[in-house]
Amino acid sequence: SLTLLDTNLPTEAETEFRSFIAKRLTKGALFEGMGNVASVDLSIPECKVGCYYCLLKQNLLETPILESDINAAEYVVCFLGGSEKEDTFRLELDKYIQSLKLNLDVEQKTLETYVNPYLRSWFENSICPIQRVVQLFQEKLAFLLHAALSYTPVEVKNADERTEKDINRFLAAASLQGLVQEGTMTSLCIAMTEEQHKSMIIDCSGPQPQLHNAGSNRFCEDWMHAFVNGAEGGNPFLFRQILENFKLKAIQDINNLKRFIRQAEMNHYALFKCYMFLKNCGSGDILLKIVKVEHAEMPEARNVVTVLEEFMRETAVA
């Protein structure tokens, strides 16, 4: 049975929606802490809406497990949006739900003073950070994209709590974490952290953020324009899709370069293809760092990377 704790849906739509969730529960389609996204037909507003829903169980880790706890309370938290595009933010919403659970366990705040305001701010806190960062940085977003791709350490100074969280979320969302090998990511983070002079500092004391020790390249500048042009529509889901396409293109370029390097181990013409690819892709500085770390234990590939580094340095000097 379902007991309604709080909703801002009209009564008729709430009844329809309760039936939808009940069917999902009956099918056993909900797993604790793992959100799902689906379309729901509601008579109000008489269209399909996107629904994120997640099962939340009471945390019993810090309390003795009694016989009465076997049927501990379970909650289904649901967020309704305009379409199924909420799926692009599913991981953010999962984290948002887990934060609710942790705060409830630690502080035991009441439904009225904590839970309701927290749940009602889900869109502002989980969906809009990328959009706010784009609007704040504008053309300077290219430097933020470059820092995210190159794993450059970033220090945020003189920013309010929300702005600092937004910037850190954007950097995490724009990085290739989970898309490149874990060892590669760790080695890059260590290498970039050791080069302290390359840490990027963002000073938010003025109306526009000021950046120090910032780097960029043509690839990031091109994608910056895609974000800035998309800002006219003001659709946060569009920004997330642009960000995913940005990362997809970066991964495609990395894979192409690695393929060229394998060919170049035995073919000098392929070495030239590697060089031309790095020169023309717009992100050769970052790609070289990534493949250098990944091929550190492969002598032949490492030799190819060393030659490419020399070529790129000579080109930069010329």
Residue in 246, 227, 242, 236 with CA at minimum distance from that of residue 176: 246
Rounded Cα–Cα distance for residues 177 and 180 (Å): 6
The pLDDT, as a whole number, for residue 181 is 65
| Residues whose CB is less than 8 angstroms from the CB of residue 73 and which lie 6 or more positions away in sequence, other chains included | 57, 58
Rounded Cα–Cα distance for residues 227 and 172 (Å): 17
More confident residue, 185 or 310: 310
More confident residue, 184 or 35: 35
Q: How far is CA 233 from CA 171, 227, 228, 263, 295, in A?
A: 22, 11, 10, 44, 43
Confidence of residue 305 (pLDDT cuts 50, 70, 90): confident
Q: Are the CB atoms for 4 and 18 separated by under 8 Å?
A: yes
Q: Which two tokens stand for residue 278?
A: 């790095």
Look at phi and psi of residue 165 and say left if phi exceeds 0, alpha if psi is from -120 to 50, else beta.
alpha
The pLDDT, as a whole number, for residue 176 is 87
Residue type, 11: T
pLDDT at residue 51 tops 70:
yes
Rounded Cα–Cα distance for residues 111 and 118 (Å): 10
What residues does each domain of the chain span?
11-100, 135-316
| Residues whose CB is less than 8 angstroms from the CB of residue 23 and which lie 6 or more positions away in sequence, other chains included | none
Confidence of residue 64 (pLDDT cuts 50, 70, 90): very low
Residue in 234, 261, 6, 258 with CA at minimum distance from that of residue 116: 6
The pLDDT, as a whole number, for residue 3 is 81
Task: Look up the pTM and report it.
Answer: 0.84
Rounded average pLDDT over 79-102? 79
Rounded Cα–Cα distance for residues 87 and 82 (Å): 12
